[in-house]
Amino acid sequence: MIYKKSSEEIALMRKGGVILTDTLRRLEAALHPGVSTAELDAIAEESIEGAGARPSFKGYRGFPGSICSSPNEVIVHGIPSPDVILEDGDIVSLDVGVLFDGFHVDSAWTFPVGSVDPQTSELLKVTEQSLEAAITQCRPGNRLGDVGFAVEEVAKAAGYAIVREYVGHGVGRALHEEPQIPNYGPPGRREVLSPGMTLAIEPMVNAGSAGTVVLDDNWTVVTADGKRSAHFEHTVAITPEGHEVLTRRDPI
């Protein structure tokens, strides 16, 4: 069952999106070599709670952090820790969920720490482009397969591998709602998009091969080959005209 949202409900999610993007901005400002992911987690928690919202991930199935912080070869679901110190040349995916007035929004960004090598810059650029290509497909009448295929086309053209075990999702009163949103096709298949759907689209793109491994903490997902992975996510509402990105950091 896909829960469509009324325009009033989408308006609440828009407010949550502003809290989320403001939080990501604060995290980006705090990102420098030597910062720990636990420090980033504290900044995010203060930002979200200070705005009268709650961090969606805290306590979700027992998750201990307010955000997921996933450096380098960590794909998703990294647990913030005082022992994880970011260094110059690292990358880190910061995944933030905000629960505001009964509705969740979900967005992630992979940031460079200090200066990264050109190959890593390319991975970040292509993964962000794959998300934008997917968002371009978000309009009534298109299908979920078109969205996933757009990610796949961009990532594969650059020679990267797409993570298949973890996917995007509907988002709203629950953090994870139907439908699942894989980052691959085929196009022209699966559910037809229609106004009121709210989708968290989140490509996870690996520099090496697609394989994944879950660490002993039962959360942290890493690349099987130890190469880097990037992750970008937006919450997108399908509108009669096309779409609205509810988690844009720089409104356009």
Site of interaction with Mg ion (CB under 5 A)? 95, 106, 108, 200, 233
Least distance (Å) between residue 116 CB and Mg ion: 22
CB of 121 to Mg ion, least distance (A): 22
Which CB atom, from 45 or from 233, has the smaller least distance to Mg ion? 233
φ, ψ at 98 (rounded to 5°): -125, 130
At residue 171, the 3 state secondary structure works out as coil
Q: Residue 147 in contact with residue 190, Cβ under 8 Å?
A: no
The nearer residue to Mg ion, 90 or 106, going by C-beta atoms, is 106
Kindly compute the dihedral angle of the four CA atoms of residues 141, 169, 112, 210, in this order, to the nearest 10 degrees: -100
Q: Report whether 83 contacts 125 (CB < 8 A).
A: no
Backbone dihedral region for residue 211 (phi beyond 0: left; psi -120 to 50: alpha; all else: beta): beta
Between 9 and 233, whose beta carbon lies closer to Mg ion? 233
Positive or negative, the CA dihedral 6, 23, 182, 78 is: negative
CB of 176 to Mg ion, least distance (A): 7
How far apart are CB 95 and Mg ion at their closest, in Å?
4
Residue 213: how many other CB atoms lie within 10 Å: 13
- Least Å distance between CB 60 and Mg ion? 11
Shortest Å distance, C-beta 181 to Mg ion: 9
Mark out the alpha helices in 31-143 (DSSP H runs).
37-50, 118-136
155 phi, psi to nearest 5 deg: -70, -40
User: Toward Mg ion, which CB reaches closer, 81 or 166?
Assistant: 166
CB of residue 57 vs Mg ion: minimum separation in angstroms?
8
Between 69 and 72, whose beta carbon lies closer to Mg ion? 69
Residue closer to Mg ion by CB (options 98, 108) is: 108
Q: Which helix (H) or strand (E) covers residue 237, if one does? A: strand 234-238
Looking at the Cβ atoms of 78 and 196, the one nearer to Mg ion is: 78
Cα separation values, 248 from 25, 64, 167, 234, 237, Å: 11, 26, 20, 7, 12
